[in-house]
Amino acid sequence: MKAHRILLVVLCLALVLTALGAQAQDDNMNPATFGLAEGKPYDGITLKFLICCNTAQQFALLDKMTAEEFTPMTGITVEWGDVPFGTYQETLYLEASNPNTEYDIAAWVDAWGTNVKDFLYPLNDFVAQYEIDMSDYSPAYVGASTMGTAGTDNEIIYGLPFRGHPQILYYRTDVLEQLGMEPPATWQDLTRLGEAMAAAGMEIEPSAMYYGLNVDQNLFNWYSHLWGAGTDLFDENWEPIFNNEIGYEATVQYLSYLRDGYTAEQSTTLNEGDAWQEVIDGRAATYVGWWWRYSSMLGSAVPEVANNAGIAPAPGWEGGLTASYGYLWPVGVFAQSENVEASLQFLRWLTHPITELRSVSNETGDPAYDNNVAVRFSVLRDPNYNERFNNLGNVAADILADARTIPLIPEYTEMIPVLSEAINEMAVDPNADIQAVLDRAAEDVRDIMDSAGYYD
């Protein structure tokens, strides 16, 4: 009888705690939690969000959360687009420049930002109103979301970081353990790993590189080499400097993995995804690429890969810097939208730290929505996040603290084919004169800048 009473008390307590918990969760879903307007002043408005690929778990989950949480809170319906990535760039440009576009909100790849910024609603007042802490984002992400000089009056925030990727070094722990080596901290270490693997007669490739032509993917690791070695694409006067002595040295190192036989010969045709396949199929020991691939390494059908998945920050330059490209999709509001205020409400909810944390926590429990994409340091450093993703957040935060972004000028998209083809040319032809190819590319880039009036 006494046992029954205790059980009853415990059950009652459990019920009360559950009710309190549910209440607490409901509290989180109040407009006040996000600083949104009370009383549903935008009730009935439908917003259209120009975005791609609902196959990305982050987008799919946030789309679901929008319908289940944001809409009941505000009365605003948001229709998420699902434009295929292959046609997304041109769709974005066409919609942005269309005064009668039916879209209100858009997300874009950082490199495309300069071509759409003139059609976006400035967010400086929005950021000030909600006291959004921009230092909670990587400098690379802030740079990709703003134009003008940081901290000055001409700094215009036209987007907020939404989906971002740092560069991670993936490695096979079994291979390194066998050689008694640490994960390569520098590119020169990667060469040493290649030498050691060759000396040990290991059959798998030391690294899966990608020098193939696929928009700008063969530039990502080249940038890390350039920045790490201490140079850049341009000097402060927008003169190309990637062909200077340091740039040459960095490029030689970047191509050395191929020329020395530490990556597959066919890496000259591989893009980022193809090269990753080399890793998850067990043919390569290391790979430097976006962090969101981690789960596919853990889920590889090859047990040696799945059971020996290691991650570390992308390598830096020996005696130099560790700086890799932080790739970002900012999100913003079209200036021509007839629903700017309602769109800003959605933007606030979408980029709020609570939404971000709940997105990576995937409270649905459905594996189809599992994703690790976070852009705020506070979320990346969250202990639960790191427990859930094997410390991935801390590694990412370390990388992002030193990450950089690409030149945010309209001419960048014109430069990409020049640079990308130059890298491909040097990779395809083992006898190519690296300095000559770099000089020619620099001349072509200078012509682009000159015709755009940079040297007038």
Partner 1 sequence: MYKSKWIVAALLAPGLLVVALTTTYPLLAALYFSFHNYKLTRPVEWAIQLGGDSLVTFNSSALTLDNYIEAFTDDRFINSVVVTAEFTFISVGLSVVIGLAIALLLQKDNLWSRMTKTILILPFAISPALKGYSWRFMLNENFGIFDLLIDVFVAGPINALISIWNALPFGDVPLMSTTIVWLGDSFWALVMLAFSETWGWAPLIALMFIGALGSIDSHIFESARIDGANSWQIFTRVTLPILRPVILVIVMLKTIFSLKMFDQVVTMTGGGPVRATQTINFYVHQVGFVRGLEIGYASALSYILVFVLTILAAGYVMYLLKPDYSRS
Residues near partner 1 (CB under 8 A): 86, 89-90, 93-94, 97, 115-116, 118, 212-215, 264-266, 268-269, 271, 278, 281, 283, 410, 413-414, 416-417, 421, 424-425, 428
Going by C-alpha positions, the residue among 379, 451, 378, 373 that lies closest to residue 415 is: 451
- Least distance between partner 1 and beta carbon 225 (Å): 20
- Of 43 and 90, which has the nearer Cβ to partner 1? 90
Shortest distance in whole angstroms from residue 396 CB to partner 1: 29
Whose Cβ is closer to partner 1: residue 159's or residue 183's? Answer: 159
> Between residues 398 and 425, which has the closer beta carbon with respect to partner 1?
425
Tell me which amino acid residue 440 is: R
Q: Within a 10 A sphere around the Cβ of 290, how many other Cβ atoms?
A: 17
Q: Which of 137, 65, 87 is nearest to 329 (CA)?
A: 137
Give the β-pairing of 160-165 and 327-333: antiparallel
Which is closer to partner 1, CB of 56 or CB of 428? 428
| Min separation Cβ 51 and partner 1, Å | 18
Quote the radius of gyration of the chain (alpha carbons, Å). Answer: 24
Strand partners, 327: 165
Nearer to partner 1, 398 or 421 (CB): 421
- Shortest separation between residue 371's beta carbon and partner 1, angstroms: 26
Chain-centroid distance of CA 30 in Å reads 30
Residue 189 or 421 with smaller CB distance to partner 1: 421
By beta-carbon proximity to partner 1, the closer residue of 70 and 210 is 210
Give the Cα separation of 427 and 212 in Å (integer). Answer: 9
Closest contact distance (angstroms) between CB of 368 and partner 1 is 24
Min dist. Cβ of residue 211 to partner 1 (A): 9
Nearer to partner 1, 111 or 374 (CB): 111
Structure tokens at 308: 């020996």
Cβ atoms of residues 169 and 399 within 8 Å = no
- Closer to partner 1 by Cβ: residue 216 or 402: 216
Provide, rounded to whole angstroms, the least separation between the CB of residue 426 and partner 1.
10
Tell me the C-alpha distance between 240 and 442, whole Å: 6
CB of residue 302 to partner 1, shortest distance in Å:
13
**Shortest distance in whole angstroms from residue 68 CB to partner 1:** 36
Yes or no: say if 240 and 234 are a contact pair by the CB < 8 Å rule: yes
User: Contact at 8 Å (CB) between 267 and 258?
Assistant: yes
Helix (H, G, I), strand (E, B) or coil at 288: strand
Residue placing its CB nearer to partner 1 in the complex, 40 or 283: 283
Report in angstroms how near the CB of residue 263 gets to partner 1 at its nearest: 12
End-to-end CA distance of the chain: 93
CA geometry: angle 30, 36, 38, nearest 5 deg: 70
Please, what is the angle between helix 57-65 and helix 353-361, to 10°? 120
The answer for residues whose C-beta is within 8 angstroms of residue 453's C-beta and 6 or more apart is none
Q: Write out the DSSP string of 341-390.
A: HHHHHHHHHHT-HHHHHHHHHTTT--GGG------BHHHHT-HHHHHHTT
Spatial separation of the C-alpha atoms in residues 189 and 191, rounded to whole Å: 5
